[in-house]
Structure 1
Amino acid sequence: MKRITIAIDGFSSTGKSTVAKMLAKELDYIYVDTGAMYRAVTLFAMRHLYIKEGHFDKEALLRNLFKVSVKFKMNPSTGIADVYLNSENVEREIRTLEVSNFVSQIAAISEVRHLLVEKQKEMGKEKGIVMDGRDIGTVVFPEAELKVFMTATADERARRRYEELIAKGDNVTYEAVLENVVKRDALDTSREDSPLVKADDAILLDNTHTNIEDQFHILLQLSKDRIYGRC
């Protein structure tokens, strides 16, 4: 069976990672959450106080960027890969609203993007990969056989994210989550280096009113069409 590259881009909290994991598992493909890589670098910056509310020492982060190692390791209990920052499992920490508040600023730095994009391209050399993020179909894998761009209203995305964080026990408000979603949209679409845009040949999937199971089946059919050459 032919193996392909599947690039899933889109706005924050559209469920890209969830459906990409489901798709990779069904196809027996490698799954890579590139957003998690940027979150890991963000956590590194926060821990060293390079970035905090009202302060961002970009130069200090760049001087110490060589100290950052981001890897994925399979979690046998969940069947999916967790993110490791310098050999520490940070899967839980990088998903907090605090990290979300700063990740778009970190992701806008050209040096950070260059470092992680090179790692992402290396991961996809053998194909058989599902990768999600903001610039996978435009920068990382412009020749991907399947490109999908996911979107939903800001209100709906904030509701999903809020419910997810509450379920994890985080103390957040819907208003704070909505503010974060709107802020990240603005930063992601306006940055100079690899702004969030839909690739010309990407399929638009608005999932405002679509549940995760339906999204999965849509993506699975699109994938099979490419794998078996039906389009």
Structure 2
Amino acid sequence: MSFTVAIDGPAAAGKGTISKAVASHFGFAHLDTGLLYRAVGAKVLAGADPVTAARALDPVDLENDALRTPAVAQAASEVAVIPDVRAALVAFQQGFARRDGGAVLDGRDIGTVICPQADVKIFVTASAECRAQRRFDELTGKGTDITYETVLADVKARDKRDRDRAASPLVPAEDAVMLDTSDLSIEQAVAQAIAIITDAGGVASRL
């Protein structure tokens, strides 16, 4: 039996951290869908055909630190506009969601496009200022020379692009539970997400 948890939200809201912790707590498999296009982009940089790479993608391909490089990010943006690549990756995500033992998928359109029938949908959010501070701390912690104001402007610009795009805009599913992490610690946010899933009922009996 399968049990699918869809977790969506904007950048730096905490959905990735929450998703990993939730998956670990319940013993579910976890998929960071944001890495899919990067994984295909990395294969293209290595000489693969983009559609062939997308259709042959394996979860182990996502376990690669090199997926975070600027070159891979650029390649990902280029392959993302190819319809057959997008179709293959949608199929990959939907197949992952149906796997036995439960699955947590995090992204931007999981509850609305990829898994509209998910058992639980959570939309993780936080104020733009809070998310910018988190991203600023992360970047400066790695030695990046950047100002908070620049990061905040980037966060707001990305939010606008995600909300206004024609295909799969970033919006909460109508039946998603909102989780605002602006004033929460990581531990508190994870605890609330676990409570939301537990309150949905029947988790254990469905697996």
Query: Which bin holds the TM-score, normalised by the shorter protein?
Result: 0.7 to 0.9
Contact 2:4 2:98 in 1 (8 A): no
Counterpart pick for 1:183 among 157, 168, 191: 157
Give 3-state SS (helix, strand or coil) of 1:126's partner: coil
Work out the CA distance in 2 between the residues paired with 1:217 and 1:34.
22
Instruction: Return the match for 2:58 from 71, 74, 84.
Output: 71
**How many residues get paired?**
200
Q: In structure 2, give the amino acid aligned to 1:83.
A: L
User: Match of 1:191, as an amino acid?
Assistant: R
Residue 211 in structure 1 maps to residue 185 in structure 2 = yes
- Cα-to-partner distance string for 1:133-192 (whole Å, 9 max, x where unaligned): 011111111111110111111121111112123333444443443233222212211222
Letter in 2 for 1:120: Q
Structure 1 residues 195 and 178: CA distance shift in structure 2, 3 A: same
Q: Return the offset for 1:67.
A: 3.8
Percent identity, aligned pairs only, is 39
Task: Please state if 1:200 is matched with 2:174.
Answer: yes
Structure 1 unaligned segments of length 5 or more: list them.
49-62, 74-81
Q: Confirm or deny: 8 A CA contact 1:104 1:187 kept in the other structure.
A: no
What is the rounded CA distance, in whole Å, between the counterparts of 1:196 and 1:103 in structure 2?
Answer: 19
1:33–1:110 Cα change, 3 Å = same
Q: Which amino acid aligns with 1:66?
A: T
Normalized per residue, which structure has more helix? 2
TM-score (norm 1): 0.73
Q: CA RMSD in A?
A: 3.0
Look up the match of 2:62.
83
Distance, in Å, in 1 between the alignment partners of 2:200 and 2:183 is: 26
Distance in 2 between residues matched to 1:42 and 1:181, nearest whole Å: 23
Whether the 8 Å CA contact 2:109–2:170 is kept in 1: the answer is yes
1:221 positional shift: 1.1
Q: Cα distance, 1:42 vs. partner?
A: 5.1
Gaps of 5+ in 2: none
Provide the rounded CA distance (Å) in 2 between the counterparts of 1:28 and 1:98.
34
C-alpha displacement at 1:39, in angstroms? Answer: 3.3
Amino acid corresponding to residue 86 of structure 2 in structure 1:
R
- Find the aligned partners of 1:97 and 1:180 in 2 and give their Cα distance: 16
Question: Which residue of structure 2 aligns with residue 153 of structure 1?
Answer: 127
- Give the one of 88, 92, 104 matched to 1:115: 88
Post-superposition offset of 1:111:
4.1
Cα distance change of structure 1 residues 190 and 226 upon mapping to structure 2, 3 Å threshold: same
Distance in 2 of aligned mates of 1:71 and 1:171: 36
